[in-house]
Amino acid sequence: MTTSAEPYVLNIGPQHPSTHGVFRIRVVMDGERIQDLDMIVGYLHRSMEKLAEERTYTQNIPFTDRADYLAAMSGNLGLCLAAERLADVEVPERASYLRVIFAELQRIASHAMANGTLVSDAGAWQTPLLYMFREREKILDLFEMTCGARLTTNYMRIGGVAFEPPDEFWPALQELVDELPERISEYEELLTQNEIFVARTRGVGIITPEDAINGSLVGPALRGSGVPWDLRKAEPYCVYDRMDFDVPIGRTGDVYDRFMVRLAETRESVKILRQAIAGIPDGPHKTDIPLALRPEPGEVYGRVEGPRGELGFYLVSDGGPAPYRFHIRAPSLINLSLLREMARGAALSDAVVALGSIDIVVGEIDR
Amino acid sequence: MSDAPLQRSNDSAQRRPATPMAQQILDRGSLLDDAKAVPNGLKAAGAVLGLGFLAVNAAIAFIVIDGRLDGEWYDFRDLGNAIARLRAELDDTSAGPWLSYWVTGVIGAVGILSFLGGFLLIGSWIERRLLARFQIRMGPNRVGPFGLLQPLADALKLMQKEVLIPLGADRMLFYLPPILVFIPAMLAWGPVPWAPNMSYLDLNVGLLYVISITSLSVLAIWMAGWASNNHYALLGSMRTVAMMVSYEIPISLSLLVVVLLTGSLNLGDIVAWQADHNIWLGALLPFAMFTFFFSSTAEINRTPNDIAEAESEIVAGFHTEYSGMKAGLFLAVELGNALLVGALLATFFLGGYSMFGLEEWIPPYLILAAKATAGYFAFIWLRATLPRFRIDQLMSFAWKYLIPLSIANVLVVAIEASIAARWDVEGIFIYGSFAIVNLGITAFAVRSWAKVVGYTPDLERPVGTRIAPRIGGLKEAKRIQAGA
C-alpha cells in the first residue's frame, strides 16, 4: 500500500523509556515506517579522555567504572591490562584468576541487564527484566562484599586487584554458580519459545556478516551475525587460554540471534567461573608498583572482550606519571553505528527492539 | 586463604546474609508475618462476622428454598427483588409513574457507580500488588495496611497536579476526551445482569447496546491524540483507531454466535439460557470466547495488544500530554474497562451470575463480581507474562485469522442452532456433543488456517545459537554458514 502522507519528524529522546539513557534519535517517519534517522549523542559527555591526561594511571581507573557503568569490572580490566603492558608490570597468577572471575561475573550481570531490557522493549512489562535482576543482584552483592561498591567497583589495580575477596565470598560465589544454570534454563523456558517474542524479534534488524565486519561491530552483536570472533579465544589475556569454553554464534544476525547469543554466553561464563574457582592458586593478589607509575615513553593498545565487545584502551606515555593520550575504544558507540541500517524501512517498534538488541550504554558512547 | 576456601560452603546454615541490604530485606518480613501480627481480637471479630454472614445467608436461603417464604425485599441475596417491590409500592402511591422511575433509577445508578468507584480504588492496588507477586517484588506496601491506601494517595497526588496544556493544542478538544471516554465506560455497565431480576437497563437489545456504547470511546481517544499536538499522541491514537475498528468485527461476530444459540439479544436472557441448560457458552463456543477475550484486550489496550500505549515505543500513546487528574481519568477508565470486559466475558460465556445452582445460596451479584474479577486477574496475568505484538502483526491477526475463522464459526454454529431448533432437542447430551464437535473443529481449523495464511515452523520452533568450531573473521563465518 502506498501512502501520500507527508513524512514527519519524530524526536525520540533524550528522555524516552527505550533509549537506555540520555540518547536522542531524530526519526523521519512515514506513518509507522521509518524513512531515515539521525543519532544524536553527547548528552552524557563528561570529557573523560581529556580529564584522564591530568591523572596518574591508577587515578584513571575510576573513569572506566563510569564509562560503561553496567560493566565496570571489564573497564577496569581493560585499562589495567593496557597500563601493565605499557609499564611491563608482572601480574601474580592469583590476581589473574580473580580478574577472570570478576570479569565473568560482570559479563553475566551485564548480559542479564541487556536481555532484560531488550524484552522490556519488546513489550513484556518488566517481568523478565526483574527475573534477570534477581541474579544480577546476587552478583552485585558479591561485588559489594569484595570492594564495597556495586556498580562503580574500582576494583582492579595495575599489577593485580585491590583486595582479596573476604571469606564469605567463596561460598556465596559457589552457591551462585550452582544455581545459575537452572536460572538460565528458566529464562529460556520463559522466552525463547514464546511466539510473540519470536515474532517480534525473528527477522528483525538483520545484520549480515559483511555489514557487521564493515561496520566493525564487536561482541554479541558481531557473533549474532555469525562471525566467530571472541578476544578471549583469539587473543587470550589473563588466564583465558587455560579455560575451556565455547563461542556461541548466531545464524541469521537478527535480534533473536543476538538475544540467544547473550543467553548462551551466560552459560559459557558459568563454565569459566567453575574452572576458575577450581583452579585458583594461592599467592599474592597484587604486585607492588610505585605510587606514580612512570612508564617508558611509548604507546600501547590493550583490549579485552567486555560484555558489549572489544573494549580497547589506547594509552600514550611521554614518560610522565599521567598518560599523554588516553583513548577508549567504546564498543557501544561503534555498534550503534549500524542502527541506521537496521532501522531504515522498519516499523518504529522494530527499531526500538533493534536498538535494545545492540545493548548500548550511553556512558560509554559519550564518555 | 591457604585452607581451601570452598569448603566453607558446607556450614551455609549459620551464614549471615552477605550484605546489610540483604539483611534488611530479610528483616522486613513477609505478608504472612503481617497477617500473623494482626491482633487476635480483630481476627476473632472478622471470623464471627464472616460466619454470621454465612449463617444468616444460609438460613434465609433455607427458608426460601424450603418454600415457607417467597424471595422478596428482605432477601438480600437478590437486591433486584427489593427494588421491584419498592417500585410496585411507589407505583401504588398517587404520585404517578415518574416517581418509581426516578427513585429506582437513582438507586441503580448509585449502586453501579459506587461499585465501580470502590473497584477503581482497590483495583489499582490489586493490579500493582499482583504484578509485583508475578515479578518477585513487594509491590506498594507503605501507605496504610499492606499498602491498601496507595490508590487513595495516588488519586490525591494526581488531583493536586497541574493540568498542563501543550502549546498549540486545541483547548476544547483537549479538555473533552477524559470526560468523553469516562461516560461510555460507565454506560456500558447498564445492561449487565447482576441477578435474575437485577439489571439497570433491562434492554431487549442489550447486546447491540453494549457493542455500540463500547465503540464510542474511539472518538474520545482520537480527539485526545489529535488535540495534543504531539506526534506520540497522534501515533497512539492512530493505532488505537485502527485497532478498534478492526477488532470491532471479530467481537461482533463472536457475539453473533452467542445470539444464534440463545436466540436473544437480552443479556439477562443469555444468562438465563445458560442457567437453564446448565452449560456455559464458553464450553460450547470455545473459539468465540477466545475471539472475544483476545479482541477485548485490543479494545481496552491491555497486553499483549497494548500497542496504543506501548511505553517502550510511544511513551504513553494518546494520553502522553495529559497530566494531573485528566491522566488519572484515562487510567481509571482503563482499569474499569478491564473489569467491564471481565463482567461481559462472564455474562456471555461463563454463565454470568449463575453457578450451577449455587446462586440460590450465594447472592448472584457476588458470583458475577467474582467472575468479573477472575477475568480481570487473567488480564493482569497476561500483562505480567507476554510481550507485545507489532501493529501490523496485530492487524493481520484480526483480518487474516480472526475474521475468516469467526465467519466460519458463525456458519458452524448456525447449523448447530438449526439442528437444535428443528428437532426441538435440548439438554446436556446434544449440547455436550456440540461442545465436543466445536472444540475439535476449533483445534483443527485454527492450526490448519494458520498454516494456510503463513505460519512458519521457524516461528513455532526457532533455532538458537550454534557453537563456533574455531575463531576467525568473515571467511570463517562464510565457511561455517556453508557447512551448516
Any chain B CB within 8 A of the CB of A134? Answer: yes
Q: Is the pLDDT of residue B456 over 80?
A: no
Tens-digit pLDDT profile for residues B346-368: 999 988 888 887 777 777 888 88
Tens-digit pLDDT profile for residues A267-311: 999 999 999 999 888 888 888 888 888 888 889 998 898 898 888
Taking the C-alpha atoms of residue A50 and residue B287, their distance in angstroms, rounded to an integer, is 65
Q: Is the pLDDT of residue B123 over 90?
A: no
* B63 and B82 both lie in a single domain: no
Taking the C-alpha atoms of residue B112 and residue B120, their distance in angstroms, rounded to an integer, is 12
Percentage of chain A surpassing pLDDT 70? 99
CB B230 within 8 A of CB B166: yes
The type of residue at A173 is: L
Test A196 with B304 for CB contact under 8 angstroms: yes
Domain contains B440? yes
Mean pLDDT, residues A183-189: 83
DSSP B359-413: GGTS-HHHHHHHHHHHHHHHHHHHHHH-----HHHHHHIIIIIIHHHHHHHHHHH
Find, among B313, B46, B467, the residue nearest to A246 by Cα: B467
Chain A's closest residue to B130, CA to CA, is A127
Side-chain-side CA neighbours of residue A218 (13 Å): 21
User: In this predicted structure, what is the pLDDT of residue B4?
Assistant: 46
Test A8 with B232 for CB contact under 8 angstroms: no
Q: Is the pLDDT of residue A316 over 70?
A: yes
Confidence of residue B460 (pLDDT cuts 50, 70, 90): low
Q: Nearest CB to A123: which of B303, B458, B460?
A: B303
Comparing B461 with B37, which gets the higher pLDDT?
B37
CB B287 within 8 A of CB B442: yes
User: In this predicted structure, what is the pLDDT of residue B30?
Assistant: 65
Tens-digit pLDDT profile for residues A322-357: 889 889 988 888 888 888 888 888 888 888 888 888
Chain A's closest residue to B391, CA to CA, is A349
Q: How far is A130 from chain B (nearest CA, A)?
A: 6
* B151 and B193 both lie in a single domain: no
User: How far is the CA of B250 from the CAs of A112, B257, B351, B372, B442, in angstroms?
Assistant: 39, 11, 21, 21, 15
Q: How far is B438 from chain A (nearest CA, A)?
A: 25
Most A CBs within 10 Å, among B232, B388, B465, to test the A interface:
B465
Q: Which residues of A touch B231 (CB under 8 A)?
A: 8-11, 29
Domain contains B460? no
Q: How many C-beta neighbours within 10 Å does residue B44 have?
A: 10
* N-to-C CA span, chain A: 44
Domain contains B20? no
Q: Nearest CB to A199: which of B1, B311, B393?
A: B393
DSSP B47-74: HHHHHHHHHHHHHHHHHHHHTSS---TT
Contacts for A296 with CB less than 8 Å, ≥ 6 apart: A86, A87, A317, A319
Least confident of B81-85, B217-221, B398-402, B470-474: B81-85
Taking a contact as any Cβ pair under 8 Å apart, which residues of chain A between 9 and 38 contact chain B?
A: 9-11, 16-18, 29, 32
* Residue A312, beta-bridge partner list: A303, A329
What does the mean pLDDT of chain A come to? 87
Tens-digit pLDDT profile for residues B279-330: 888 888 888 898 999 888 888 877 777 777 777 777 878 888 888 888 888 8
Cα dihedral across residues A210, A211, A216, A221: positive or negative: negative
Q: Which residues of B touch A260 (CB under 8 A)?
A: 464-465
User: How far is the CA of B214 from the CAs of A81, A345, B105, B419, in angstroms?
Assistant: 65, 35, 21, 33
Domain contains A6? no
Confidence of residue B52 (pLDDT cuts 50, 70, 90): very high
CA dihedral A350, A352, A353, A358 (to 10 degrees): 120
Q: Nearest CB to A32: which of B1, B311, B391?
A: B391
User: In this predicted structure, what is the pLDDT of residue B275?
Assistant: 85
Taking the C-alpha atoms of residue A37 and residue A13, their distance in angstroms, rounded to an integer, is 13
Any chain B CB within 8 A of the CB of A218? Answer: no
Q: Which residues of B touch A249 (CB under 8 A)?
A: 465-468, 477, 480
Exposure string of B250-263, with b = 16+ CB inside 10 Å and e = fewer, is bbbbbbbbbbbbbe
Taking the C-alpha atoms of residue A336 and residue A365, their distance in angstroms, rounded to an integer, is 9
Mean pLDDT, residues A69-85: 89
Domain contains A294? yes
What does the mean pLDDT of chain B come to? 81
Most B CBs within 10 Å, among A196, A255, A258, to test the B interface:
A196
Taking the C-alpha atoms of residue B258 and residue B285, their distance in angstroms, rounded to an integer, is 8
Cell numbers at B479, concatenated? 565457511
* B60 and B150 both lie in a single domain: no
Q: What is the CATH number of the domain that holds A155?
A: 1.10.645.10
Q: Which residues of A touch B476 (CB under 8 A)?
A: 227-228
* B100 and B55 both lie in a single domain: no
Domain contains B154? yes
* Residue A305, beta-bridge partner list: A310
Chain A's closest residue to B387, CA to CA, is A124
Q: Which residues of A touch B463 (CB under 8 A)?
A: 251
Test A195 with B460 for CB contact under 8 angstroms: yes
Q: Is the pLDDT of residue B20 over 80?
A: no
Cα dihedral across residues B450, B451, B452, B453: positive or negative: positive
Residue range(s) defining the domain that contains residue B63: 39-67
Domain contains A22? no
* B255 and B371 both lie in a single domain: yes
Report helix, strand or coil for B167. coil
Q: Is the pLDDT of residue B386 over 50?
A: yes
Domain contains B480? no
CA dihedral B452, B456, B459, B460 (to 10 degrees): 80
| Strand A325-329, strand A160-161: pairing | unpaired
Residue appearing with cell numbers 612512570: A294
Cell numbers at A200, concatenated? 517480534
* B269 and B408 both lie in a single domain: yes
Find, among B220, B19, B472, B209, the residue nearest to A213 by Cα: B472
Q: How far is A35 from chain B (nearest CA, A)?
A: 16
DSSP B446-474: HHHHHHHTT--HHHHS----EE-SS--SH
CB B302 within 8 A of CB B383: yes
CA Rg value for chain A: 21
Least confident of A56-60, A74-78, A123-127, B340-344: A123-127
Tens-digit pLDDT profile for residues B56-72: 877 776 666 555 545 45
Tens-digit pLDDT profile for residues B389-423: 888 888 888 888 888 888 988 988 888 888 877 77
Domain contains A37? no
Q: Give the residue from B160, B179, B198 where a domain finishes.
A: B160
Taking the C-alpha atoms of residue B43 and residue A345, their distance in angstroms, rounded to an integer, is 63
Residue appearing with cell numbers 478492526: B246
* B277 and B344 both lie in a single domain: yes
Test A347 with B474 for CB contact under 8 angstroms: no
Report helix, strand or coil for A76. helix
Test A18 with B458 for CB contact under 8 angstroms: no
Test B466 with A141 for CB contact under 8 angstroms: no
Residue B345 has phi, psi (to 5 degrees) of -60, -45
Q: Which residues of B touch A195 (CB under 8 A)?
A: 459-460
* B84 and B189 both lie in a single domain: no
Question: How many independent structural domains does chain A possess?
Answer: 1
Any chain B CB within 8 A of the CB of A145? Answer: yes
Chain A's closest residue to B470, CA to CA, is A228
Return the number of CB contacts < 8 Å for A and B.
191
Taking the C-alpha atoms of residue B147 and residue A72, their distance in angstroms, rounded to an integer, is 37
Taking the C-alpha atoms of residue A302 and residue A292, their distance in angstroms, rounded to an integer, is 20
Taking the C-alpha atoms of residue A215 and residue A208, their distance in angstroms, rounded to an integer, is 10
CB B173 within 8 A of CB B165: no
Least confident of B29-43, B215-229, B287-301: B29-43
Test A228 with B135 for CB contact under 8 angstroms: no
Domain contains A212? yes
Taking the C-alpha atoms of residue B465 and residue A254, their distance in angstroms, rounded to an integer, is 12
Most A CBs within 10 Å, among B133, B313, B400, to test the A interface:
B313
Query: Cα angle at A301 between A300 and A306, to 5 degrees?
Result: 145
User: In this predicted structure, what is the pLDDT of residue B77?
Assistant: 58
Q: How far is A179 from chain B (nearest CA, A)?
A: 14
Residue appearing with cell numbers 499522541: B233
Test B310 with A196 for CB contact under 8 angstroms: no
Domain contains B211? yes
Question: How many independent structural domains does chain B possess?
Answer: 3
Domain contains B99? yes
Q: How far is B320 from chain A (nearest CA, A)?
A: 12
Contacts for A70 with CB less than 8 Å, ≥ 6 apart: A109, A110, A113, A151, A307, A361
* B49 and B86 both lie in a single domain: no
Q: Which residues of B touch A199 (CB under 8 A)?
A: 389-390, 393, 459
* B148 and B81 both lie in a single domain: yes
Domain contains B121? yes
* Residue A33, beta-bridge partner list: A30, A347
User: In this predicted structure, what is the pLDDT of residue B48?
Assistant: 95
Test A124 with B392 for CB contact under 8 angstroms: no
Q: Which residues of B touch A225 (CB under 8 A)?
A: 477
Taking the C-alpha atoms of residue A260 and residue A267, their distance in angstroms, rounded to an integer, is 11
Q: How far is A171 from chain B (nearest CA, A)?
A: 4
Q: Nearest CB to B390: which of A200, A226, A356?
A: A200
Residue range(s) defining the domain that contains residue A188: 46-366
Q: Nearest CB to B313: which of A130, A192, A352?
A: A352
Q: Give the residue from B119, B136, B160 where a domain finishes.
A: B160
Q: How far is A233 from chain B (nearest CA, A)?
A: 7
Q: Which residues of A touch B384 (CB under 8 A)?
A: 125, 127
* B352 and B437 both lie in a single domain: yes
Cell numbers at B70, concatenated? 417467597
Q: How far is A261 from chain B (nearest CA, A)?
A: 6
Test B459 with A198 for CB contact under 8 angstroms: yes
Mean pLDDT, residues A38-51: 87
Test B477 with A251 for CB contact under 8 angstroms: no
Q: Is the pLDDT of residue A3 over 70?
A: no
Task: Specify the DSSP class assigned to residue A153.
Answer: -
* B367 and B419 both lie in a single domain: yes
Any chain B CB within 8 A of the CB of A310? Answer: no
The whole-model pTM stands at: 0.81
Q: Give the residue from B103, B131, B160 where a domain finishes.
A: B160
For the range B52-60, what are the long-range contacts, defined as Cβ-Cβ under 8 Å and sequence gap of 24 or more? B57/B361, B57/B362, B57/B363, B58/B361
Test B471 with A234 for CB contact under 8 angstroms: yes
Most B CBs within 10 Å, among A119, A125, A202, A275, to test the B interface:
A125
Most B CBs within 10 Å, among A30, A286, A349, A350, to test the B interface:
A349
Q: Which residues of B touch A171 (CB under 8 A)?
A: 6, 8-9, 12, 15
Find, among B389, B480, B462, B388, the residue nearest to A260 by Cα: B462
Tens-digit pLDDT profile for residues A169-184: 899 899 899 988 888 8
User: How far is the CA of B422 from the CAs of A204, A250, B414, B417, in angstroms?
Assistant: 54, 61, 12, 8
Least confident of A97-111, B395-409, B454-468: B454-468
